[in-house]
């Protein structure tokens, strides 16, 4: 492998160190990544909008700033991508929907502005399913994103392209967004790290609704340290988001060095809500045993939730999507949008206000139950998904194909309860199935304990490193 090719696999933290030491320039790194995208992405389809000339111009500017002795930002010279659904002025904002193909963002969301102001090199935008409504990686506008570990297998969703791009060496870090697992699912399925912060940690203005209590911006990266570096830039108060937390003097990258010996860990293979594939369960049980090696106490336990899938369906997903897209003529879009996506809208239209409010009240009880449960534990650990990855053009894993739509969407995931209970959660690589597909381990912390979750994930990474693994397609 050439030296330029190797640049594509270095962690962002190492790239940043070498840039600061004047061993590399932003232009060196950007050229290497763009060359790799040019060679690899036609088969992968992680990027749906690429800006190579603009990225090179930014890299030259960052290189000149170094020569002039300018103070370097936290991401100075580091290439990054953003999910297509993030508003970045002058870029497509279609959400993968054919009817929106001409839509262009007219402003930057706070996260987009912060990544740019930190000195990052904006490569382009990554793929997603239509409207970000599911955990698959295809849509009628941009087509399918394939899993770098096996062509023809889903890259997960909804931050499909972000997970695939980072796993394939097409940029060290990526912005992602999560309304039910959309950071953690593609990170797990592609064998990388995905972190969903606490509610309000990173401002989110993705929809006209300014009270999005279930949706989050966060990082996807190949290492925990890189995710923490990106969170340092993304986190902080913004008045446009009324749920935004006050800016705290926390260095999330430094938090990765914290020791967690003595931590109390609850392990649950299924949270009492899903069937788990025996191979997934065995891989994750072996992975969680690593925490005993550093002096943590691990025991089997889970919060006693009755039906979080119903709460997600009735309190969050269907009413939100139905209201957000109620002006769309879905009959006119027949054949150009997933039938399942339209059914999510229709299901929202059929809900009564009483059903939504009752489900929302049950969500409140879930929060109470979680907080009481976490009074006895520092972390709750689960598999991220309960079944291996499935073919990209199949909507859900085979065991769920005849199930109701709600089960097809949620029945193979253990991520969405932590959107309802908005605690910080991260997925880290736990191993591989016998078919060579990645498996993710989800680590959840107490409310607003983002730094603790990163510390736990980094401790696991030191014991069970994964960044040396590179996918075949790549």
Question: Is residue 1 predicted with pLDDT exceeding 60?
Answer: no
- Band of residue 324 on the pLDDT scale cut at 50, 70, 90: confident
**pLDDT tens for each residue of 262-319:** 999 999 999 999 999 999 999 999 999 999 999 999 999 999 999 999 999 999 999 9
Residue 471 included in any domain: no
Residue 469 included in any domain: no
Annotation marks residue 182 as catalytic? yes
The rounded percent of the chain whose pLDDT value lies above 70 is: 99
Q: Which residue of the set 16, 83, 196, 268 is catalytic?
A: 83
Residue 220 included in any domain: yes
Q: Which residue of the set 16, 81, 159, 182 is catalytic?
A: 182
Say which residue the tokens 């690593």 belong to: 290
Residue 59 included in any domain: yes
In whole angstroms, how far apart are CA 62 and each of 25, 69, 75, 123, 394? Answer: 8, 11, 10, 14, 43
CB contact burial 109-137 (16+ within 10 A = b; e otherwise): bbbbebbbebbbbbbbbbbbbbbbbbbbb
CB 201 within 8 A of CB 213: no
**pLDDT tens for each residue of 18-56:** 999 999 999 999 999 999 999 999 999 999 999 999 999
The rounded distance, in Å, linking the Cα atoms of 269 and 277 is: 10
Residue 470 included in any domain: no
CB 51 within 8 A of CB 123: yes
**pLDDT tens for each residue of 367-411:** 999 999 999 999 999 999 999 999 999 999 999 999 999 999 999
Q: Which residue of the set 16, 158, 159, 389 is catalytic?
A: 158
pLDDT value of position 209: 79
The residue segments making up the domain with residue 254 are: 3-463
Which among 175, 53, 200, 184 is positioned nearest to 120, based on CA atoms? 175
Residue 474 included in any domain: no
Sheet holding 121-126, edge to edge: 47-50, 121-126, 79-83, 173-178, 216-221, 193-196, 425-432, 438-445, 379-383, 264-267, 297-300
Residue 210 included in any domain: yes
Peptide bond into 158 cis (omega under 30): yes
**pLDDT tens for each residue of 52-76:** 999 999 999 999 999 898 899 999 9
pLDDT value of position 325: 75
Q: How many domains does the chain have?
A: 1
Question: Is residue 208 predicted with pLDDT exceeding 90?
Answer: no
Kindly tell me the burial class for residue 246, based on how many C-beta atoms sit within 10 Å of its own C-beta (0-12, 13-18, 19 or more): exposed
**pLDDT tens for each residue of 136-172:** 999 999 999 999 999 999 999 999 999 999 999 999 9
CATH for 14: 3.90.1300.10
**pLDDT tens for each residue of 420-471:** 999 999 999 999 999 999 999 999 999 999 999 999 999 999 999 999 999 9
Residue 472 included in any domain: no
């Amino acid at each position: 492998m050439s030296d330029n090719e190797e640049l594509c696999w270095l962690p962002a933290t190492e790239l940043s160190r070498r840039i600061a030491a004047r061993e590399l320039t932003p232009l060196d790194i950007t050229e290497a990544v763009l060359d790799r995208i040019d060679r690899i992405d036609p088969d992968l389809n992680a990027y749906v909008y690429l800006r190579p000339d603009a990225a090179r111009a930014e890299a030259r500017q960052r290189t000149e700033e170094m020569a002039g002795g300018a103070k370097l930002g936290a991401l100075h010279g580091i290439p990054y991508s953003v999910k297509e659904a993030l508003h970045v002025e002058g870029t497509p904002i279609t959400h993968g929907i054919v009817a929106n193909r001409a839509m262009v963002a007219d402003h930057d969301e706070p996260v987009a502005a912060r990544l740019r102001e930190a000195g990052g090199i904006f490569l382009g935008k990554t793929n997603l399913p239509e409207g970000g409504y599911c955990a698959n990686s295809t849509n009628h506008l941009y087509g399918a994103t394939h899993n770098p570990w096996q062509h023809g297998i889903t890259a997960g969703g909804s931050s499909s392209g972000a997970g695939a791009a980072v796993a394939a060496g097409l940029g060290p870090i990526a912005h992602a967004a999560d309304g039910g697992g959309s950071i953690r699912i593609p990170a797990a399925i592609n064998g990388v790290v995905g972190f969903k912060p606490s509610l309000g940690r990173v401002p989110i203005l993705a929809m006209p609704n300014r009270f999005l209590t279930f949706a989050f911006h966060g990082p996807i990266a190949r290492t925990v340290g890189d995710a923490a570096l990106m969170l340092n830039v993304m986190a902080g108060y913004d008045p446009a988001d009324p749920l935004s937390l006050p800016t705290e003097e926390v260095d999330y990258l430094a938090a990765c060095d914290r020791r967690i010996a003595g931590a109390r860990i609850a392990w649950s293979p299924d949270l009492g809500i899903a069937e788990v594939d025996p191979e997934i369960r065995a891989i994750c049980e072996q992975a969680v045993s690593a925490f005993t090696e550093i002096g943590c106490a691990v025991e089997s336990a889970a919060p006693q939730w009755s039906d979080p899938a119903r709460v997600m369906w009735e309190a969050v997903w269907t009413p939100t999507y139905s209201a957000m897209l109620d002006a769309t003529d879905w009959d006119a879009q027949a054949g150009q949008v997933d039938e399942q996506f339209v059914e999510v809208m229709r299901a929202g239209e059929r809900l009564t206000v009483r059903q939504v409010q009752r489900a929302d009240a049950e969500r409140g009880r879930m929060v109470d139950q979680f907080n009481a449960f976490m009074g006895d534990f520092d972390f709750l650990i689960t598999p991220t998904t309960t079944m291996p990855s499935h073919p990209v053009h199949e909507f859900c894993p085979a065991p769920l194909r005849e199930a109701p739509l709600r089960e097809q969407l949620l029945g193979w995931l253990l991520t969405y309860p932590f959107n309802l209970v908005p605690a910080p959660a991260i997925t880290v690589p736990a191993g591989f199935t016998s078919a060579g597909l990645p498996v993710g381990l989800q680590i959840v912390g107490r409310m607003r304990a983002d730094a603790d979750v990163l510390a736990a994930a980094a401790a696991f990474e030191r014991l069970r490193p994964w960044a040396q693994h590179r996918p075949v397609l790549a």
